[in-house]
Amino acid sequence: MGDFFISAEELNSLRGGSTPPRIFDVRKRAAFDESGLMLPGASWHDPFAIAQWVGDLDKDNPLIIHCVHGHEVSQDAGRTLREAGFDIRVLTGGFEAWREAGFGVVPAQKNDGDQ
């Protein structure tokens, strides 16, 4: 497993590859709802319900997660997923760093089961 962190620029370059990374938005529900926006290709997952959705994940595919600023929420979720055997990276600076770098966002959508 590689480094624990990935920059917005690194993530953006991976998105253009033949196999785009899976991106999980693990912002707290209130922050996600208030924003109304998310990274292209991302899916929202409740960071406090990892035990409910972790079983549906494929450990063979790397995963990138982010919260608002890339601090406690995404780092705690990242450690939990890494300890469970996942190849996980946390977006340095989170959603805000992505936006500050000038990369696009899309209207937010929740996943089925993450209501």
Indicate the range of 40-44, 56-60, 76-80 predicted with least confidence.
56-60
Task: Check: pTM over 0.95? Answer yes or no.
Answer: no
To 10 degrees, the CA torsion angle through 36, 108, 86, 69? Answer: -20
Domain region containing 71:
5-107
pLDDT tens for residues 59-70?
A: 888 899 999 999
Residue 113 domain flag = no
Pick from 3, 28, 14: which is nearest to 82 by CA?
3
Number of domains in the chain: 1
Sign of CA dihedral 108, 98, 10, 24: negative
CATH of the domain at 56: 3.40.250.10
CA distance 26 to 44: 6
**What pLDDT score was predicted for residue 16?**
78
Whole-angstrom Cα Rg for the chain: 13
Residue 91 domain flag = yes
> Cα 35 from chain centroid?
15
**What pLDDT score was predicted for residue 111?**
65
